[in-house]
Amino acid sequence: MKNLIISLAAASVLFVIGCQENSITDPIANESSNKVQAETPDTYLRGTILLEGALRDPYPIGNSFYRINGQIEFEQRFVTGEPIYQFSKRYAALYFTTNANLRYFCTVCSPPEEGDVLAGIISEVSEDYVPLGGNYVSLLEKTFTIQGRADRMVLKIRFLVSNSGVELSTMWLELPKSTIQSPEIVGY
């Protein structure tokens, strides 16, 4: 009789557990996951990144710089899927419109009579795709052609890309490897 009562109690407990809603197969609808989804943007972000400052002259000459003045307008669209990057289910499609002037100045030279010399312009429209993850930041390094230069100098910019937007990390000027003249090594 004791075994019968224990068996009935166990059967009734199993019956109650079995009749409860199965949370494993139900869609997740708790408040914490809704907060995460609400914090991540669904469509796109738009913004402007100012390009202002002094950049070191990449030629091996001391005390000469270039001033950059302009901006990059960007649109960041969020896309879910795996069209390009197989390891990411979410990526950012970035559209950049770049307009900037580059002016030469030297701290040890006498200034030219006409003021700062225009050394080139940057005017480009481009599109890039960057994988995005949960809480990490992706790096995007872009090369911009400087129009009006015979030496093929370029502007390099490193961007930080995240779910909250695009930021400028650093920028510098660079010459092609064949343009930089290095002194000859003699005596080896």
At 25 the pLDDT is 45
How much is the pLDDT for 5?
Answer: 72
Mean pLDDT throughout 141-169?
93
Which residues, in sequence order, are bridge partners of residue 90?
80, 132
| Per-residue pLDDT at 39 | 43
Burial of 33 (0-12, 13-18, 19+ CB in 10 A): exposed
* pTM, to two decimals: 0.66
Cα separation, 103 vs 107, in Å, equals: 13
Query: 110-131, pLDDT tens digit by residue?
Result: 666 666 678 999 999 999 999 8
Tens digits of per-residue pLDDT, 29-69?
Answer: 444 333 333 344 457 899 999 999 999 988 877 778 899 99
CA angle 55, 162, 133 (to 5 degrees): 135
